Chains A and B, each alone.
Chain A
Amino acid sequence: MKEKIIAILNELRPEFDFAEEGINFIEEGMLDSFDIVSLVDSIETEIGARIPGAEILPESFATLDAVLATIQRNLK
């Protein structure tokens, strides 16, 4: 799953390295609000988790672990 998420993120913003440990994507300016909605769409179409609107907050996608946890919570 982790590799799949990194691949999705790299496709969204190929100029950044999302595999780097412990990095905060929001604080580092690697993801903005448009990237987050694009990420949500990719998660829904490629992984099958439907993310509720109330969870679409920067903190839900700030780190690799946070993205993983958001997906796990919402996998069908």
Chain B
Amino acid sequence: MIATFKDKKITAIYSVIPSNIVDFMDEMDNYSFTESQMKKLKKVMGFNTRRVIKEGETVSDYAIHAIEKMLSDGVFKEEEIGGIIVTTSSPDYFIPPTSNIIQGAFNFDNDCVCLDISQGCCGYTVGLTTSFMLLNSLPQEKKVLLVAGDVLSNRVSVRDRASRPIVGDGTAVTLIENTKSHNEAFAGLTNNGKAAFSVYIPAGGSKMPITPETTKEEVDEFGNWRGKQHLVMQGDLVFNFIINDTPKLIENVLASAKEDVCNIDYFICHQSSVFTLKKLADRLEVDRNKVPMDIVPTYGNSSSASIPITFCKHFEEMYSEKDKLKIMFAAFGTGLSIGCVLMDVEKQNHCRLLEYPHKN
């Protein structure tokens, strides 16, 4: 799908990461890597430090913290919000929707649309696209809060060297609204459901409820121990999907916008791994400096939240010389899905990267 949206803008992004830091080298005993392999992977893959939640913390906790800050900073008024869209693969509960929990924490109108979308890596781009669609149906003055977050660190086995060293947590809230100034956004989405189980959590849903039997950990051929409640990722398959299919979608979105890749100021991508992002930048033939890729080594891959966290971390330097940037948001992974959104994003007074104040 390639779609064009007229007169939409991103007004504010508040990203929240845990204060809690875990260091890859401190987890050495959990993995079947030698010390020299660990050091090499630290450089190549970006295995370093990551931010992880404290037990019991959820996407809604982080979103509510962000929204409280937005309200106290005067970013918007509660009555202006016409929709709350949550994209996550780690909802607080099966029932109720996380968006309803967030709506109930504030004095948002009762006719505010609450919508949860089950998405992981592509959550932000799917959420942006859905937000634009919703804004087309709401009264002109209404605004949408996009909550993109994941807390998957506790869904990964401590002895899974393929995924554990990379997974971080975080949640971001983005304020999106209609604008009278001409601003087109171009969105592309593509899916390959035949490869859906390349990234998955076998137990915990309706197909395989968690039982004492499903939590028994088994070792795979690479020395990873997992229970069925843990995330499993076929990294090589996912890597090849990203490298082969993402450039095609980006090219299609650029063609739709009649835009040349050279004119894109920044590619703000899902932070899968440093290695993947370097190879993607090379495949697109763009300067690696236009593709920020330092989030995995500092905060970890926070799935739905990784794009807005990247945006907030690099906000000051990106806008040091320009007040408006042409940005390609690109996400890929779980699904397997790819989502891209190309749009101009103006320099905002409201872009913050916050640390969550843990209560325990």
| The one of A34, A41, A58 that contacts B37, using a Cβ cutoff of 8 Å | A34
Task: Report chain A residues within 8 Å CB of B40.
Answer: 12, 38, 41
Residue in B33, B239, B283 whose CB lies within 8 Å of A52: B283
Please encode chain A, from 22 to 52, with 1 for each CB lying within 8 Å of some chain B CB and 0 for all others.
0000000100111101101100000000101
User: Shortest beta-carbon distance, B23 to chain A, in Å?
Assistant: 19
User: A19: which B residues are within 8 A, CB to CB?
Assistant: none
CB contact under 8 A between A56 and B279, given known A37-B45, A41-B43, A41-B44: yes
How far is A41 from B275 in the complex, measured between Cα atoms in Å?
Answer: 9
CB of A65 closer than 8 Å to a CB of B? no
- Which chain A residues lie closer than 8 Å to B276 at the CB level? 53
In this complex, what residue of B is CB-closest to A38?
B40
Q: Are A33 and B236 in contact (CB under 8 A)?
A: yes
Report A-chain residues with C-beta under 8 Å of the C-beta of B137.
none
Q: Mark B213-256, 1 if CB is under 8 A from A, else 0.
A: 00000000110000000000001100110011000000000000
Known contacts A33-B235, A34-B37; A54/B44 CB under 8 A: no
Given A53-B283, A54-B283, A57-B240; A34-B41 close (CB under 8 Å): yes
Residue of A nearest to B242 (CB): A53
**Separation of A56 and B43 alpha carbons in the complex (Å):** 18
Shortest CB–CB separation between residue A44 and chain B, in angstroms?
A: 9
Contacts of B221 in A (CB 8 A): 29
**A11 proximity list for chain B (CB < 8 A):** 36
Q: How far is the CB of A3 from chain B (nearest CB, A)?
A: 20
With A37-B45, A41-B43 as contacts: A56 and B243 at CB distance below 8 Å? yes
Please report whether the interface of chain A is mostly helix, strand, loop or mixed according to DSSP: helix
A42 CB to nearest chain B CB (Å): 8
Shortest distance from the beta carbon of A47 to any chain B beta carbon, whole Å? 15
User: CB-defined interface of B13-47 with A at 8 Å, one 1/0 digit per residue?
Assistant: 00000000000000000000100110011011100
Contact of B243 among A29, A50, A53, A58 (CB under 8 A): A53
A25 to nearest B CB, angstroms?
Answer: 15
The residues in B between 256 and 305 inclusive whose CB is less than 8 angstroms from any CB of A are 275-276, 279-280, 282-283
Total count of chain B residues near the partner, CB < 8 A: 24
Closest-CB distance, B280 to chain A (whole angstroms): 7
Let me know if A50 and B282 touch, CB within 8 A: yes
Please tell me if the beta carbons of B283 and A38 are within 8 angstroms of each other in the complex: no
Contact A53 B45 (CB under 8 A): no
Inter-subunit contact B36/A37 (CB<8 Å): no
Residues on B with C-beta less than 8 A from A56 are 239-240, 243, 279
Given the known interface contacts A12-B40, A41-B44, the answer about A53 and B279 at a Cβ–Cβ threshold of 8 Å is: yes
Q: Are B279 and A38 in contact (CB under 8 A)?
A: no
Q: How far is the CA of A62 from the CA of B36 in the complex (A)?
A: 22
> With the chains together, A29 CA to B221 CA distance in Å?
9
Write out the residue numbers on chain A whose beta carbons fall within 8 Å of the beta carbon of B222: 32
- Which A residues are in CB contact (< 8 Å) with B283? 52-54
Complex contacts, B280 vs chain A, CB 8 Å: 53
Chain B residues lying within 8 Å of A35, measured Cβ to Cβ, are 37
Q: Known: A32-B222, A34-B37, A37-B275. Is A53-B282 also a contact (CB below 8 A)?
A: yes
Q: Which of A14, A33, A34, A54 has the most CB of B within 10 A?
A: A34
Provide the bound-state CA to CA distance between A14 and B44, in Å. Answer: 19
A32 to chain B, nearest CB (A): 6
14 residue pairs A–B, Cβ–Cβ below 8 Å: A11-B36, A12-B36, A12-B40, A29-B221, A34-B37, A34-B161, A35-B37, A38-B44, A41-B44, A41-B275, A52-B282, A53-B283, A56-B243, A56-B279
